[in-house]
Amino acid sequence: MGRGITFFGACDFTCRIRDSVFRGRPSCRSITPERPAHQQLRRNCSWGNLQPPVAAPVVHAGNDAIVQIDDLEFGYETASTTGSRKELHVGRLDIIRGAPPAPAATMDARRAGCELRADVCVAGGGSGGLGAALAAARKGASVIVVERERLLGGTSTAGGVSNWEPGPGDAFAREIFERLSKTPKAVIMDKPTYDETLTRAGNGHIQFEPDKFHRVVTDMLRETGCCRVLLNTTFTEVTVNTRDRRVVELRATRPDSTVYSIRAGVFIDCTGSGFLCQAAGCDVMLGAESRDRFGEPAAPPAPVERLNAIELIYRIRPSKDPIRQDLPSGMEPRRGGGAWPQPSGGRFVNTCGGLAPGWLLMEKGWIGARKELERRVLSHWHWLQKEYYPRYEFDRFSPMLAVREAQRIVCEYVLTQIDLIEGIEKQTHDDIIAIADHPMDTHGAGGSLGKVSAPYGIPFRCLVPKGGWRNLLIACRGAGFSHIAASSCRLSRTMIALGHAAGSAAAQCAAVRCDVPDVDIGPIQRELGMPPEKRPAP
C-alpha cells in the first residue's frame, strides 16, 4: 500500500470511469495509489515545511465510502474485465492552502446534480476567463464558465481594483472599453484617447464601475450564442485520467447545494491561483524562488516564503455630514496608497501594499485573512479620512480579496526576470502570444525591483501546464511565471490577452479535433497581432 494512506476495514467503493460507474469491495492491494500519497499531497498543496497527514478515516455515505486525506478524495478506476489498478484521480479544492471556501455538498446532492457538456470549460470568470470564453465562443465552440462571485471580472470587479493601469491590451480589452464608453457613468480615463493608455510611458489609467463592466462583458458573451455562465458557483473538485493525462470532469457547487458535473474537450484554469491545475496534480511554485532555480539576478540566494502584498479594496463616498472613523482597538494607523475616482461618484482605495504581505493568505486562509484585513482597512481609513478626505465617509468593502500573487503552476516554459530584461527584441521564442511592459513591483514584499526597459513577450508555453497534459491550459496570474516575472505580467489587460490565446487554442482543438500539444500557434499569433518575426517559420 502506498505510504500516507491508511484504509480501515473492508468497504464498498464507488468508482467512476468516463460514463460508467462501478461498485465493489476491492481489497487494499487492488487500490494501491499510483504514487505515494504524501508525495501527491505535497505536490498538489505546496506544504512547504508542514508535514502532510499520514492516515485518514473512511467516510461513509449510505452503502458507499470514499477514502479521504484531509478532504482530498481519491477515485479509483477498476476495469470490470481486467481488474487493472486505478487511473482516475479526484482532487479537491478544500486541501489547497489559500483557497476560498467551497460550499459544502452532500453525497446525495452530488448524485442529484446537473450534468453539463461543452467543448470548453473555463474555471474562473476573471480577466483571463473573459478572454478565454469570448475567444472560444466567438469561434463557435460551446463554452461553460464557472465563476464563484456574482460578477464577472474577478479582481477588476469583485476585487474592487476597477482600474486598468497603462500597458498593452488586445482587441477584447479595446471592445470592452468602447462599450463602456457608450454606457452612462461607466468609465473615465485620464488621457484623451484609449491608445495613449497602451504603454507604460503613456501613464494613462482607466477607471470603470464594476457592475457596469459586468453587464458589458455579460452582453458580449451572451451575443455569441455559445456561452453559458454559472455565477455564484464554486469549483470544488476535478477528475483526471492519469493514464491519458486528461481532465475528465470538473465539479462545481452553488450555495443551495446544486452540484454541476461538467465534461469538456478542453479545460482552461482561470482561477487566479491555478486551483484547477493544483487539484489535477500539476507541480506548483509558491513564494520567491532561489537564484539557482532560474538564474534571475534579483532572486534571493535561497527560497523565501514571500508573496506580493494582498489587498482588501474599499470604497468611500462624499458626505455632507460624514461619519468619523475611529481607530480600531489595538491598531496603529496605516498609511500610504491612493484613492481613485469612480465614474458614478466616490472613490476606491488601494493601499498599494500597505495592508499585509501576501503570505497572510497562506497562514490564515481566505476567511481568516479577510477578517484581519477588514480591521487593517479601518485603521487605514482612519488615517486617510483625517489627513486627506474629511468630507468623505466609508462606503463598503469589496466582496473579494485582491490577491496579487499566490500559487503559480509549473508550465512548459516559465517566464523569468531574464525575459523581462531582454525584452521582445532579444527574446528568441517563436510562440509569443502577448506583450507586457509593467514594472517588476512586489508591493509589500521587498520593494520594487525596477522598471523594464522595453516591452517583453509571453510565450504560449507559459499557458501549458508541464506534464504532458492533453486538454488543460491555464490563463491567469497563476500561469507559468516566476515570482519576479509574476510581479510584472499580472495586470488585467495582460490577463485578458492570455485568456484570448488560450480560448483560441481551445476552439481550435474543438474545430479540428486535436489536443493542446498539437495546436497550430501561428493563427493565434496573427489574431493577437504578434510581430511576424516572433511567429514559427512556415
- Residues paired with 122 in a beta bridge: 145, 268
Pairwise CA distance, residues 355 & 311, whole Å? 6
pLDDT digits (tens, 9 = 90+) for 18-64: 333 333 333 322 223 333 333 333 333 322 222 333 333 322 223 22
Task: Show the CA angle centred on residue 303, arms to residues 299 and 304, nearest 5°.
Answer: 90
What pLDDT band is residue 530 in, cutting at 50, 70 and 90?
very high
What is the average per-residue pLDDT within 12-16? 34
Classified as helix, coil or strand, 523 is helix
What pLDDT band is residue 11 in, cutting at 50, 70 and 90?
very low
Residue 343: the pLDDT is 97
**Residue 135 pLDDT > 60, yes or no?**
yes
* Lowest-confidence region among 83-87, 206-210, 260-264, 367-371: 83-87
What does pLDDT average to over the chain?
83
Pairwise CA distance, residues 483 & 286, whole Å? 8
What is the average per-residue pLDDT within 316-332? 96
Percentage helix, strand, coil, to 5, in the chain?
A: 30, 25, 45
Pairwise CA distance, residues 87 & 181, whole Å? 51
* 347 CB burial (10 A radius; 0-12, 13-18, 19+): buried
- Residues paired with 339 in a beta bridge: 349
Task: Show the CA angle centred on residue 63, arms to residues 57 and 69, nearest 5°.
Answer: 20
Contact 306, 404 (CB under 8 A): no
**Residue 216 pLDDT > 70, yes or no?**
yes
Contact 485, 419 (CB under 8 A): yes
Residue 448: the pLDDT is 56
Contact 536, 522 (CB under 8 A): yes
Residue 21: the pLDDT is 34
Output phi, psi for 306, to 5 deg.
Answer: -140, 135
Closest residue by Cα to residue 128 from 436, 486, 476, 503:
476
Q: Is the dihedral of CA 514, 516, 519, 525 positive or negative?
A: positive
Q: Cell digits for 427?
A: 527574446
pLDDT digits (tens, 9 = 90+) for 173-213: 999 999 999 999 999 998 999 999 998 877 889 999 999 99
Contact 141, 510 (CB under 8 A): yes
What pLDDT band is residue 282 in, cutting at 50, 70 and 90?
very high
Q: H or E segment at 473?
A: strand 472-474
Q: Domain limits of the chain?
A: 117-295+406-534, 310-403
What pLDDT band is residue 298 in, cutting at 50, 70 and 90?
very high
Task: Show the CA angle centred on residue 132, arms to residues 127 and 135, nearest 5°.
Answer: 125
What is the average per-residue pLDDT within 489-508? 97
Residue 44: the pLDDT is 33
Residues of the chain above pLDDT 90, percent: 73
pLDDT digits (tens, 9 = 90+) for 361-396: 999 999 999 999 999 999 999 999 999 999 999 999
Residue 534: the pLDDT is 66
Residue 492: the pLDDT is 97
Q: What is the residue whose three cell numbers read 491561483?
A: 273
Q: What is the residue whose three cell numbers read 463554452?
A: 143
Topology adopted by domain 117-295+406-534 = FAD/NAD(P)-binding domain (3.50.50)
